[in-house]
Structure 1
Amino acid sequence: MTAAVVFSAVTLALLSRPPPAVCARRDVVELGDADFDYLAMEHETMLVKFYAPWCGHCKKLAPEFEKAANKLKGLVKLAKVDCTANSETCGRFGVTGYPTLKIFRYGKDAASYDGPRTAVGIYEVMRRQTGPDSVHLKSKDDLRDFVNNYDASIVGKAAIPDSARLPEFLKGAGLLRDQFRFAHITDLQVAEDHKVNSESVLLFRPPRLANAFEDSVVVFKDYLTISSLRRFIRDHLYGLCPHMMLENRDRLRVRDLLTAYYDLDYHHNVRGSNYWRNRVMKVASKYSGRSLMFSVANKKDFRIELEEDYDLGTSDAGDLPFVTIRTKLGQKYVMREEFTRDGQSLERFLEDYFAGRLKQYIKSEPIPEKNSAAVKVVVAESFNEIVNDPDKDVLIQFYSPSCPHCKKLEPIYRELAETLYSYPRTVIAKMNAVDNDIPLGYDVQGYPTIYFAPVGKKDNPIRYQVNPFFSQLIS
């Protein structure tokens, strides 16, 4: 008898239980097969969430989506479509996974939404979707006002309105407007203070991040295509040491990233925020070209993450920055030495990092002294020994102690373990994913998440696809 057969047999007994009721929302309009086209055509810009009621990621997104809808009233309409009840509409727009977010203009599918899934992030992205793709700047005052913004600005400069470069720039602005701010100039005198050739693209970094270590304006010099424009923005947008926020952290973390967390506040204390940033930049300038990016962040914005990943509360470390390195593969390193104002401690930390002398930071519960129950307890420090045992097939559940779904699953999972207890080459295990770091290769976005690590495939574990009916029942 296999683990999957026992699991499915037990869950079938629960199928008579009805799914929970769904509360109606007022700010997010519900659309379906019968009225989607008619109602969507009424709105210049609409963000539509295609979802399934049993989807855990959809449930996590729902309150953020609702908050964003409230903030965007009068600017952008937010809507949702239940794909389990409106398969015709979802199929027509190529929806294959949940949640899928798409931007519509007067009922036409304009673009996929690939931005952040927080209320603030959705608001910022969709706010940029209002108005033209690129703002036409007609005076020096227009240019000054446009670039004097909290975010970076990309300005296309063309000698004449029908310049060969302008249509390509505007096309790029249309495709990238959800991520960046675009404007264009057709009167050369508007940008005469910037000594560049007649046709070019200028990237203005935010004035609040101006510093003595890099230029505030970067000039695009390659042949203009949408691909080269995208590459130019990607390579120069953030500069030597960007301000990491919840909205841009995923884009920054595609590379190995050092972050200094402190009481950064560019809305109320620009000078104080740049005090520590300048010290990070001074050191960062010495390591330019190395395989590491630098950033600064507000410690309070990342409070939950710091508490979960490093056991650090916002009151820890006093007024000094708390410095970490997180690689693109997920390894973590912490600067133990106090951040000195001359930057020497940061330099020593970096020298040790590049020399391979730093010990990786792993958050782990203590290894249990006794572990003889049918369901083996795994912690981060024992994961390799138990789950990656080359001679055993291991089924492991990642759970949260406070998760009600996990608690409902517990007796079923224990019954499965007891059934297979007599098989010496099979291990049924569980790991508290809140208090232990999750190893590479395991994507845990919600609880419970179950993986099977069979003999010979420890580097490529198989995610257990829970029956959708069961997902609905344990919700």
Structure 2
Amino acid sequence: MNRLLFGLFAAVVALQSAMSTAIDKDGSVLVLTDSNFEDAIKEHKLLLVDFYAPWCGHCKRLEPAYAEAADILAALEEPIFIAKLDATEHKEAAAKHGVRGYPTLKLFKNGVPMDYQGGRTAEEISAYMIKKSGPAVTTVTSVEEAEAFFAKQPTAALALLDSLDSDIALAVTTFAESSDNVPFAYTAEPAVLTNYGAKAGSLRFATPEAVFTRFLDFTGGVTAFEELNTWLFGHSIAPMFEFSPEKSMHLFSGPIRVHLIAFGDATEAGFADTVAAIKEGANKFRTKALSILVGKNETRILEAFDLTEKDVPTMVIADMRAGAMKRFFFEGDMAKAFDTEKFLTNFFAGHLKAKLKSEEPVPEDMEKAVKVIKGKSFQKEVLESDKDVLMEFYAPWCGHCKTLEPKWDVLGDRLAGVEHVMTAKMDYTANELDVPGVDIRGFPTILFFPADKTKEPVVYKGGREVPDFLAFLKEHASKPFEVEEEEEEEEEEEVKEEL
């Protein structure tokens, strides 16, 4: 009897355990909870998880593409699964994997988590998962297999080689392992090369839009890999895409750091023809510059370029190759493809000058102990100066800058009597510079401009206290100097003497 009861009890426990870890589905998307999360990543050697919040706008916009990708992946001959977890309700799993914002996508491969590096469209998500599910490179041995490879994923690359046992085949494998979004295959079958009319040593890259070919040259080492990555990225996206927060997260972090931004009203009569002309003019540069359409209602983007709705339509080239963004404004007819092509041609030839923001300098700027430098006064007051200049680049809203401000003022007062050293500051949200060595990527950034202005500025990386700055200047200044001790220190000495 006891054995019977024990058996029944064990069966009930097993049933309850199975029920507690059962995974529901929303369409083809697995729905995870704190109780079934660990079982899910153990059961599925490859699993993409969307940690989301029901109220999050970005999550809601991702949902239909994510669901479509799940359907695509579930329909494969060997299904691949993706999942989601409401991180506001199931906080244990979210906290364990460091989820701090929504949506956060993480890929679990053999239980090991890694950040998702793909795009946010259904095609990009499914292509990413297909790529991660198998070997870095698929071997194609016939025309039929090649056609099946391209049919399986609409954006894919096939390397046509002399031999699969060669340095270039190894290079293709190495590159494919580092490329997350594009499925790769290679072949050395003469029939496949003949079928595509391609020479050995070339790449056939197919997208839903068109087929592109490129000769594979890996003799340039790292540079060649970077060039191929940029080329693939440029051809894998549309010739022009409409701005959205979801797309920007993926595309703006890609290898192409030059963006042609067309501001316009899509509802305006005839604007579709203008967009077509921009696409035509920019097409030759698609592996060098992303072409983006931004609506006039995107006020934050307009403000970043000092534009208002009254300035629309217009075009701007945003160059972020050196870190801080440089802006080049279009002059011409946006409805003429030739004008767009000329605009980009002149930019890449170095014939255009960036438009730099600057406040107007006023006499009072240079009267204080800490000199206030503006974009228009930088050349005269800093570059043409024979002084050593220690300069803070700040943002008015920056908490660290606000903490530094009183210390920076004290430093300016301490150095007021040192003629060959200047303490200065610039609001870099209202001013911009195009000067070698000035690459402002965060606030505050502190640079030392030596008296010999033929030398590039030195990035200050020391402590943020007044003695730290003084020690740095005494080491780097062109002439030795001394400063008086602070009054507090003198008062302390007097107290000690009285005691």
TM over 0.5: yes
1:410-430 per-residue CA deviation (whole Å, 9 max, x = no partner) reads: 111101101111222221111
Instruction: For residue 394 of structure 1, report the CA deviation from its aligned partner.
Output: 0.9
Query: Kindly tell me: are residues 191 and 326 of structure 1, through their superposed partners in 2, closer, same or farther at Cα, counting changes over 3 Å?
Result: same
Instruction: For residue 467 of structure 1, report the CA deviation from its aligned partner.
Output: 2.6
Partner SS for 1:381:
coil
In the alignment, does 2:463 pair up with 1:467?
yes
Partner SS for 2:203:
strand
1:20-43 per-residue CA deviation (whole Å, 9 max, x = no partner) reads: xxxxxxx9xxxxxxxxxxxxxx99
In the alignment, does 2:357 pair up with 1:342?
no
Amino acid at match of 1:148: P
- The answer for the alignment partner of 1:155 in structure 2 is 158
> Which of 309, 313, 319 is the equivalent residue of 1:326?
319
- The answer for the alignment partner of 2:356 in structure 1 is 362
Instruction: For residue 205 of structure 1, report the CA deviation from its aligned partner.
Output: 4.9
Task: Output aligned runs, 1:228-243, within 5 Å.
Answer: 230=225, 233-234=228-229, 236-237=231-232, 238=234
Which stretch of the first structure deviates more once superposed, 343-352 or 441-450? Answer: 343-352
Task: Output aligned runs, 1:7-86, within 5 Å.
Answer: 66-67=100-101, 70-72=104-106, 74=108
Task: Output aligned runs, 1:115-194, within 5 Å.
Answer: 130-132=132-134, 133-136=136-139, 139=145, 142-149=148-155, 153-157=156-160, 164=166, 167-168=169-170, 171-178=173-180, 180-185=182-187, 193-194=195-196
Amino acid at match of 1:433: Y
- The answer for the alignment partner of 2:197 in structure 1 is 195
The number of residues matched between the two structures is 356
Instruction: For residue 407 of structure 1, report the CA deviation from its aligned partner.
Output: 0.9
Amino acid at match of 2:291: V
Which has the higher Rg, Structure 1 or Structure 2?
A: 2
Task: Output aligned runs, 1:241-260, within 5 Å.
Answer: 247-249=250-252, 257=258, 259-260=260-261
- The answer for the alignment partner of 1:423 in structure 2 is 418
Instruction: For residue 195 of structure 1, report the CA deviation from its aligned partner.
Output: 2.1
Query: Kindly tell me: are residues 229 and 354 of structure 1, through their superposed partners in 2, closer, same or farther at Cα, counting changes over 3 Å?
Result: closer
Taking every aligned residue pair, what percent have the same amino acid on both sides? 20
- The answer for the alignment partner of 2:442 in structure 1 is 446
Instruction: For residue 380 of structure 1, report the CA deviation from its aligned partner.
Output: 1.2
- Distance, in Å, in 2 between the alignment partners of 1:185 and 1:455 is 61
Query: Kindly tell me: are residues 347 and 465 of structure 1, through their superposed partners in 2, closer, same or farther at Cα, counting changes over 3 Å?
Result: closer
| Contact 2:162–2:201, Cα closer than 8 Å, also in 1 | no
Instruction: For residue 325 of structure 1, report the CA deviation from its aligned partner.
Output: 6.0
- Distance, in Å, in 1 between the alignment partners of 2:292 and 2:331 is 18
Query: Kindly tell me: are residues 316 and 67 of structure 1, through their superposed partners in 2, closer, same or farther at Cα, counting changes over 3 Å?
Result: farther
Instruction: For residue 398 of structure 1, report the CA deviation from its aligned partner.
Output: 0.9
> Which of 273, 276, 279 is the equivalent residue of 2:277?
279
| Contact 1:332–1:360, Cα closer than 8 Å, also in 2 | yes
Instruction: For residue 181 of structure 1, report the CA deviation from its aligned partner.
Output: 3.4
| Contact 1:394–1:454, Cα closer than 8 Å, also in 2 | yes
Query: Kindly tell me: are residues 236 and 355 of structure 1, through their superposed partners in 2, closer, same or farther at Cα, counting changes over 3 Å?
Result: closer
- Distance, in Å, in 1 between the alignment partners of 2:198 and 2:301 is 44
In terms of fraction of residues, the more helix-rich structure is 2
Query: Kindly tell me: are residues 349 and 191 of structure 1, through their superposed partners in 2, closer, same or farther at Cα, counting changes over 3 Å?
Result: closer
Higher relative contact order (CA 8 A, sep 6+): 1
- The answer for the alignment partner of 1:390 in structure 2 is 385
1:207-260 per-residue CA deviation (whole Å, 9 max, x = no partner) reads: 34x4xxxxx320436689976973772574336995585545566556xx5614
Any stretches of 5+ residues in structure 1 without a counterpart?
A: 1-26, 28-41, 47-62, 80-102, 105-112, 211-215, 266-271, 471-475
Instruction: For residue 402 of structure 1, report the CA deviation from its aligned partner.
Output: 0.8
Amino acid at match of 1:324: I
Task: Output aligned runs, 1:242-321, within 5 Å.
Answer: 247-249=250-252, 257=258, 259-262=260-263, 278-280=276-278, 282-283=280-281, 293-299=288-294, 306-307=301-302, 309-312=304-307, 315=309, 317-318=311-312, 320=313
Query: Kindly tell me: are residues 400 and 281 of structure 1, through their superposed partners in 2, closer, same or farther at Cα, counting changes over 3 Å?
Result: same
- Distance, in Å, in 2 between the alignment partners of 1:135 and 1:331 is 42
Partner SS for 1:437:
coil
Query: Kindly tell me: are residues 164 and 229 of structure 1, through their superposed partners in 2, closer, same or farther at Cα, counting changes over 3 Å?
Result: same
Partner SS for 1:362:
coil
Instruction: For residue 389 of structure 1, report the CA deviation from its aligned partner.
Output: 3.2
Which stretch of the first structure deviates more once superposed, 179-188 or 370-379? Answer: 179-188
Query: Kindly tell me: are residues 45 and 466 of structure 1, through their superposed partners in 2, closer, same or farther at Cα, counting changes over 3 Å?
Result: farther
1:45-64 per-residue CA deviation (whole Å, 9 max, x = no partner) reads: 99xxxxxxxxxxxxxxxx99
- Distance, in Å, in 2 between the alignment partners of 1:273 and 1:140 is 41
Any stretches of 5+ residues in structure 2 without a counterpart?
A: 1-31, 33-43, 49-96, 242-247, 467-499
